[in-house]
Amino acid sequence: MTNRIFYTKPSITQLETDYAADAAATGWGARCYDYLNRFERDFKTYLGSGFAIATSSCTGAMHMGLAALGVGAGDEVILADTNWVATVSPIVHLGARPVFVDVRADTWCIDPEHVERHITPKTKAIIATHLYGNLCDMDALLEIGKRTGIPVIEDAAEAVGSVWHGRRAGSMGAFGTFSFHGTKTLTTGEGGMFVTNDAALYEKVLTLSNHGRARGQTKQFWPDAIGFKYKMSNIQAAIGCAQLERIEELVNRKREILASYMIRLSALPGITMNPEYTGTINGAWMPTAVFHPSTGITREMMQQTFETANIDARVFFYPLSSLSMFEDRPENVNAWSIPGRAINLPSYHDMSEADIDRVAATLLDMAAGRIYHNSTALRQSV
């Protein structure tokens, strides 16, 4: 039996281990936030943002950011139907209504034309999710935001290392959020980051992140508002500091793996993968193969094929509007069509060329068999 190829796992070196051990041994009392403060400082410098707050998750960062913008009951927030539930959960928790719109067929990210058509007087925010490292059309979205006065938020959970015309993903909107889950390119095990260039918004979120205690409050244990507890631990931040020192190495390896898949699968008809357009850099968090409907290749076929080959492959996100907790079933053609013929391919720092060969060969063999079957059936029907 061949060894199982997992879809992702973190790259942890002696540097991460040393920093975490130091935080565990010395990061208490007056030094309890040393690594946390350093991680926030270094991350905002890397991103080119004015302010950063390390959080327990990307979901928590999104929750606090939306709350600080005043999103609440009766409001609407526009987001891509193609998304993980973590993006929509804070909207629902705040009592607002999510408005699911379609994605572009090439980037699988929110379509600005559909955003424009769904804006109403109740629209409070627009969330741009950079999916699998792919980039939203930020020029178009920011222009909509500027013209309407509606803040554009970047869900950059999966986009560390992605760049839109010289600006890093997460640094362009009213605020941005990142995930450092164990599956991500940069990991702290669990964790996230809130970033913004808006000083007033930063202060609001900083207060909310610490049980509503304002930074300038002189009374001990005196909250100024009802807040949250979404703080990252100092030990997690220590791991993050080490990962951030290696960020170029980590992102470059992800990009190498995506490029390797593209070379190996380039001769396969009817397949597309993560795009990278002129002036952009795709951080390539999750290499994804999407087949044209004419191939007849389905998600279930790919799942079964990879499972038989002892390869861990993830399904493409189901449309949020397909989930049982939501009643709206909008006509989002791409968001509903793509998941049924797409798969996320394994990608992690220590993945060998032999592993990439094995994944690609498995997909090629399956596709070749399917295409041959289709062509034979077509000839027999003529």
Q: How far apart are CA 382 and CA 380, in angstroms?
A: 6
Angstrom CA distances, 171 to 73, 154, 181, 340, stand at: 28, 8, 20, 32
Residue reference for tokens 């992800």: 254
DSSP class per residue in 68-81: HTT--TT-EEEEES
Contact 201, 177 (CB under 8 A): no
Which is it for the CA torsion 304, 309, 313, 316, positive or negative? Answer: negative
Q: Is the dihedral of CA 90, 96, 98, 99 positive or negative?
A: negative
Q: CA 163 to CA 47: how far, in whole Å?
A: 10
As a whole number of angstroms, the distance between CA 381 and CA 237 comes to 62
Residue 45 host element (H or E): helix 34-47
SS3 39: helix
By the 8 A CB rule, do 78 and 123 touch?
yes
Q: What are phi and psi of 313, to 5 degrees?
A: -130, 140
In this structure, are residues 60 and 177 in contact, taking their beta carbons and an 8 Å threshold? no
For residue 6, give the DSSP letter: P
Q: Which helix or strand (DSSP H or E) is residue 144 part of?
A: helix 138-148
What's the sign of the alpha-carbon dihedral 204, 156, 173, 96? negative
**Strand-pair partners of 163:** 168, 281
Q: Which residues does the annotation mark as catalytic?
A: 184
Residues across the chain: 382
Secondary structure class of 175 (helix, strand, coil): strand
For residue 266 the two structure tokens come to 């380039």
Nearest to 237 by CA among 1, 27, 30, 35: 35
